[in-house]
Amino acid sequence: MYSFSDIASLHADLKQGKTTCTQLVNDALTLIQQKKHLNAFLETFNESALLQAEIVDEKLKNGKAGRLAGVIVALKDNICVKGQKVSASSKILESFTSLYNSTVVERLLTEDAIIIGRTNCDEFAMGSSNENSSNGNVLNPHNEKTVPGGSSGGSAVAVAAGLCHVALGSDTGGSIRQPASFCGVVGFKPTYGRVSRWGLIAYASSFDQIGPLTKTVDDAALVLEVIAGKDEFDSTLSSKPVGEYSKHTTLTKKLKIAYLKECFESEGLDKEIKTHIEEIFNKLKSDGHTIEPVDFPYLDFLVPTYYVLTTAEASSNLARFGGVPYGYRGKNATDLESTFKKSRSEGFGKEVKRRIMLGTFVLSAGYYDAYYAKGQQVRRVVRDKTLEILKKFDIIITPSTPGTAFEFGKNSADPIKMYLEDIFTVQANIAGVPAISIPAGKNKNNMPFGIQLMSAPFTEELLLAAAKHIAV
């Protein structure tokens, strides 16, 4: 069975005939079946993956293969693939089949990637542990008693366990970076408006971004280079040109780095993680980089602001799922009103219903100004402060998560405690800036954790180069 390390090595081996795309797909399908208990995949696309593999093998022989030739990609179950099921891991969409490809899928296929299947996730991407899926929990391969993180837990596990080469997830408040931290892989959230959301089932439209989970920073750079860029189907997308990220991952200057004092003084931060990141800081200083603490007095406002605004958007976005045009329909419905009530109450899980109700409340006439409007004002303050820091510094560093992966059930009874798992990641989504989580080591419990880097909007090239330098 082929041992994957990175895309560059894979391409070299394919060129030398050490393996073939068909063999890679067969190996992946075998391993997915062997590790089925991890529950990372909801479905594999055996027939279409093998067909694509044959096509790419022929292209490789003719020297006409694309930039992702032979790269096996898994997709979070909220990214549409034509003719395949997509459910956002929700009962309400359990039998829905997509009529079109998402833009990211089209771009992956154009560069000869092979889509292997769809991965489990928190229902409608709402969760920090992957315990909210209607398809059951995903297990962390480093310790199967612990969560993989969420909501892109299945994608993170697929990469960490070697079930695919690359996976795509979506990140609304840390849903790529948090599971990347828990599973010991690279997780990248691009600038809002860098990657098309066409074909992504929405949670909160002004926060959601698609991004890669990979083994290496170089692989993340190449995948981003392929999937980023202007798209006529997404009006929120930037028209800024896409850089050749994969050719510029070597750092060419000394960095000016800020770290948020409030993050490192937080009582909830694991002491071992803090110590380990301080050691990284010392190494960076010895390499000639500048590292300075900065004040960020809004840390305690990040999670409340995030949940007020995202639940409001979710309340609107999920209104379409009523059991009438498609999706799950309540079996005992007798009229239009009971169809809506039964379909939504039976089809949505507990966490999704909680967030819809919260979002409906903050948008209601009597509370709109007190909650939603105030949340938007705080969002502007957070964005302005973040950009102010990034005018003086190249990057901001924080922990990716307060601790390592926790055991199943530990936080599920307390929604507030679960929401605080995102305390370090939501800032990037609120501010719309790019952020990446890279593996930073392992705790004494032998579980991985990550370090997070943020940079100014559309400076992905610098961020990736800094991440690779720090990850080495």
pLDDT of amino acid 347: 94
Out of 369, 385, 411, pick the residue that ends a domain. Answer: 369
Q: Is residue 238 part of a domain?
A: yes
Q: Are 112 and 187 found together in one domain?
A: yes
Q: Is residue 445 part of a domain?
A: no
Q: Are 214 and 363 found together in one domain?
A: no
Residue 131 C-beta-side C-alpha neighbours within 13 Å: 19
pLDDT over 90 at 230, yes or no = yes
CA distance 377 to 301: 12
Q: Which amino acid is at 20?
A: T
State the residue range of the domain holding 364. 303-369
CA distance 39 to 111: 28
205 is catalytic: no
Q: Which amino acid is at 4?
A: F
pLDDT of amino acid 428: 98
Q: Is residue 39 part of a domain?
A: yes
Q: Are 36 and 168 found together in one domain?
A: yes
Write the pLDDT tens digit of every residue in 233-287.
999 999 999 999 999 999 999 999 999 999 999 888 999 999 999 999 999 999 9
Q: Is residue 464 part of a domain?
A: no
Q: Are 241 and 337 found together in one domain?
A: no
pLDDT over 80 at 31, yes or no = yes
Q: Are 104 and 185 found together in one domain?
A: yes
What does residue 47 show for φ and ψ, rounded to 5 degrees? -65, -50
Active-site residue, from 102, 128, 175, 455? 175
CA distance 442 to 449: 6
**pLDDT, average across residues 3-7:** 96
Q: Are 50 and 182 found together in one domain?
A: yes
Q: Residue 234 burial by CB count (10 A; 0-12/13-18/19+): exposed, middle or buried?
A: middle
Q: Are 99 and 210 found together in one domain?
A: yes
76 is catalytic: yes
Question: Which two structure tokens, joined as six digits, stand for 345?
Answer: 């109450």
Q: Is residue 272 part of a domain?
A: no
343 is catalytic: no
Q: Which of 22-36, 136-150, 186-200, 406-420 has the lowest mean pLDDT?
A: 406-420
Q: Which amino acid is at 195?
A: V
Q: Is residue 176 part of a domain?
A: yes
SS3 324: coil
Question: Which two structure tokens, joined as six digits, stand for 415?
Answer: 């929604």
Question: Which two structure tokens, joined as six digits, stand for 338?
Answer: 């009971």
Out of 352, 369, 386, pick the residue that ends a domain. Answer: 369
Out of 334, 352, 369, pick the residue that ends a domain. Answer: 369
**pLDDT, average across residues 40-59:** 98
pTM for this model (two decimals): 0.96
Q: Are 24 and 155 found together in one domain?
A: yes
Q: Is residue 256 part of a domain?
A: no
pLDDT band at residue 414, thresholds of 50, 70 and 90? confident
Q: Are 128 and 214 found together in one domain?
A: yes
Write the pLDDT tens digit of every residue in 180-191.
999 999 999 999
Q: Is residue 270 part of a domain?
A: no
pLDDT over 90 at 399, yes or no = yes
Q: Are 239 and 309 found together in one domain?
A: no
Active-site residue, from 90, 102, 128, 151? 151
How far does the chain reach from its first CA to its final CA, in angstroms?
27
Give the CATH number, domain containing residue 140.
Answer: 3.90.1300.10
Active-site residue, from 76, 189, 215, 468? 76
* Contact status, residue 374 vs residue 382, Cβ threshold 8 Å: no
How many domains would you assign to the chain?
A: 2
* Contact status, residue 96 vs residue 326, Cβ threshold 8 Å: yes
SS3 278: helix
Q: For the chain, what is the radius of gyration of the CA atoms? A: 21
Q: Are 216 and 328 found together in one domain?
A: no
CA distance 438 to 313: 29
